[in-house]
Amino acid sequence: MVKLANDITYRRMKQTMAKLGSMTESDYTYFMRVVFGHSTPSPVDLSSIGTIEFIDPTLNDSQREAIRFALAAKEIALIHGPPGTGKTYTLIELILQFLRQNLRILVCGPSNVSVDNIVERLAPHKVPLVRIGHPARLLSTVLDHSLEVLIQTSDAAAIVKDIRKEIEVKQASIRKTRSGRERREIYRDLKELRKEFRERESKCVGNLVTDCKVVLATLHGAGGHQLRNQKFDVVIIDEASQALEAQCWVPLLSASKAILAGDHLQLPPTVKSATLKFSGAVGSGKSPDDEQSVLRMDKDNNVGQHKAKGGTLEMTLFDRLLSLHGPAIKRMLTTQYRMHEKIMQFPSQELYESKLIAADAVKLRLLKDLPYEVEETDDTREPLVFYDTQGGDFPEKVEEPAVMPKQKQISLFAESKSNDMEAYLVARHVENLIGAGVKPEDVAVVTPYNAQLALLSSMLKDKYPGLELGSVDGFQGREKEAVIVSLVRSNPEHEVGFLAEKRRLNVAMTRPKRHLCICGDSETIRGGNQFLRRWMDFLEENADLRYPDAGEYMQS
């Protein structure tokens, strides 16, 4: 594990791993034994939870099944939420059902946004909740539920404020006093007042947090002093597929039951060190000695090779539990509310076992049906467009980095690629959509390569300030009415680079609601692997297939 800029995050992960690593197998709770693969999860008896009266009447069957399963599970449950399947709505209902059982819940996520999103959805239900975290990092809409604001408005806050005022008065009196004896007495009083202030503030925080049945924090925020000695019946981790396992253990160290929600078929957390990305990390060992070396993190980047099932920093806890215990611990949400059914079709059949169903409200909607005036054109009536640039007239080019490191690391310092002709093609399609009336803020252009992103930004950003341009990786978790994807790669060697990562392509192809446009060289792409070959075959059979004329774009 690499020490990053946020020293607190690093330190809390390291402390947690040290605690976990110091345990012997006899110290493990049954929950830990399940997570490490030493024991199997207890059988799930759905009859044990009785009949459930759901609070949200709009939940679909797969959401209800996932909630029942999570309620009945003894140690662990995975909720697999493919794109647009209402994972957050499912978690809100689950939290409310746990509250009906009079359980106390800790809800965590890898980012402030992921946690605040749940606070926003949970707040209207008027449940006793508190959001742990620095107010400057929270969304303005959730500040009223932050610990700092709740402390300021609590009854105990008045006493704490009085002590603070008394401290300020004493400090001011020091400057006016010349007598050494009087100054010593004032300093003695200040020492006692500060001690009382800390004790009362700590008690105020402790009482306030203890009185809340739902506590929400980022994964590393769960390691703060505010939650020290706090007990929870259930830990819920949202976006678990985007979190390092070391992060997850911060709230899980004292857990007895955990619900992990995420999508392991989208991109995992970013690991920038090639050495650590492909070396040992948290896993499940077979002996106490193995488990004591769960993850050794040193500031000189030495990482203990863990003799474990699984074992890279890129492998998430969600992935590892699924590989350990199989699909029996998972329930998948299957109705998606984002994509036109034709956009959904390929990722569903290739990655989600053909189980995804497009909700009636979205399955046939197009750009021409937007709730504002949009002209019906060849573009706005099509949900799926493929500009096939095969033939060699749209070649990629390599952008050499200014400074190459002495040792080239995998992908981290690789040359970025761009494709001028493909960029012109993308720009023309953007112009056509916006010219037909689609608002720029409803359109996104994404590409896997930074050099192509820079090129597209130089061509489009000033002309269409509302247009969003970004990397595929950075667009995970987002959605737009129309998304244009520039694949860039076009070469006679059929080299596709990290386009071979199906999770990256899954993110790219599942962002749009009504319109997905792919620009790429089918000859190059299909040579990458079998997944890419099947994708090209699918596009040729199902998309509005277009063969652009390079000469036309050179003239423009």
Q: What is the dihedral of CA 443, 526, 392, 383, to 10 degrees?
A: -30
- What distance in Å separates the CA atoms of residue 277 and residue 410, rounded to the nearest whole number? 10
Q: What is the DSSP letter of 420?
A: H
Three-class secondary structure assignment of 375-388:
CCCCCCCCCEEEEE
Say which residues have a Cβ less than 8 Å from residue 106's Cβ, sequence separation at least 6: 215, 216, 217, 222, 227, 230, 232, 234, 235, 236, 251, 255
pLDDT at site 307: 32
Superfamily name and number for 338-555? P-loop containing nucleotide triphosphate hydrolases (3.40.50.300)
Count Cα atoms within 13 angstroms, Cβ side, for 553. 18
Tell me the β-bridge partners of 336.
Answer: 358
pLDDT averaged per 10 residues, the chain (length 556): 65 90 92 96 95 97 99 98 98 98 97 94 94 87 86 65 70 73 77 70 73 95 88 97 95 96 93 57 36 33 36 87 97 99 98 98 98 98 98 85 47 71 97 98 97 97 97 92 98 94 96 98 96 98 93 64
Which helix (H) or strand (E) segment holds residue 148: the answer is helix 147-152
Q: What global pTM score does this model have?
A: 0.84
351: left (phi over 0), alpha (psi -120 to 50) or beta: alpha
pLDDT at site 290: 32
Separation in Å, CA 329 to CA 44, 367, 499, 527: 9, 39, 31, 36
Encoded amino acid at 217, one letter: A
Say which residues have a Cβ less than 8 Å from residue 458's Cβ, sequence separation at least 6: none
pLDDT at site 330: 98
pLDDT at site 62: 99
pLDDT at site 104: 97
pLDDT at site 225: 83
Q: What would the pLDDT profile of 197-227 be if each residue is shown by its tens digit?
A: 666 666 666 678 888 999 999 999 999 888 8
Q: Pick from 523, 516, 480: which is nearest to 347 by CA? A: 516
Burial group, residue 136, by CB count within 10 angstroms (0-12, 13-18, 19+) = exposed
pLDDT at site 224: 87
Cβ atoms of residues 34 and 75 within 8 Å:
yes
Q: Pick from 8, 11, 525, 37: which is nearest to 307 by CA? A: 37
Cβ atoms of residues 332 and 82 within 8 Å:
yes
Cβ atoms of residues 419 and 490 within 8 Å:
yes
Cβ atoms of residues 135 and 143 within 8 Å:
yes
Cβ atoms of residues 201 and 224 within 8 Å:
no
**From edge to edge, which strands make up the β-sheet containing 330-332?**
129-131, 214-218, 105-109, 234-237, 258-262, 76-80, 330-332
Cα-atom radius of gyration of the chain, to the nearest Å?
A: 27
Separation in Å, CA 231 to CA 81, 148, 280, 521: 28, 21, 32, 55
pLDDT at site 299: 33
Three-class secondary structure assignment of 302-330:
CECCCCCECCCCCCCHHHHHHHHHHHHHE
pLDDT at site 63: 99
Encoded amino acid at 331, one letter: R
pLDDT at site 277: 55
Q: What is the dihedral of CA 124, 130, 132, 135, to 10 degrees?
A: 60
Q: Pick from 208, 211, 206, 203: which is nearest to 163 by CA? A: 203
Which CATH number fits the domain 7-128+213-332, given the four candidates 3.10.20.30, 3.40.50.300, 3.30.200.20, 3.20.20.10?
3.40.50.300
Separation in Å, CA 46 to CA 51, 91, 143, 213, 347: 9, 18, 38, 24, 31
Say which residues have a Cβ less than 8 Å from residue 542's Cβ, sequence separation at least 6: 342, 345, 346, 384
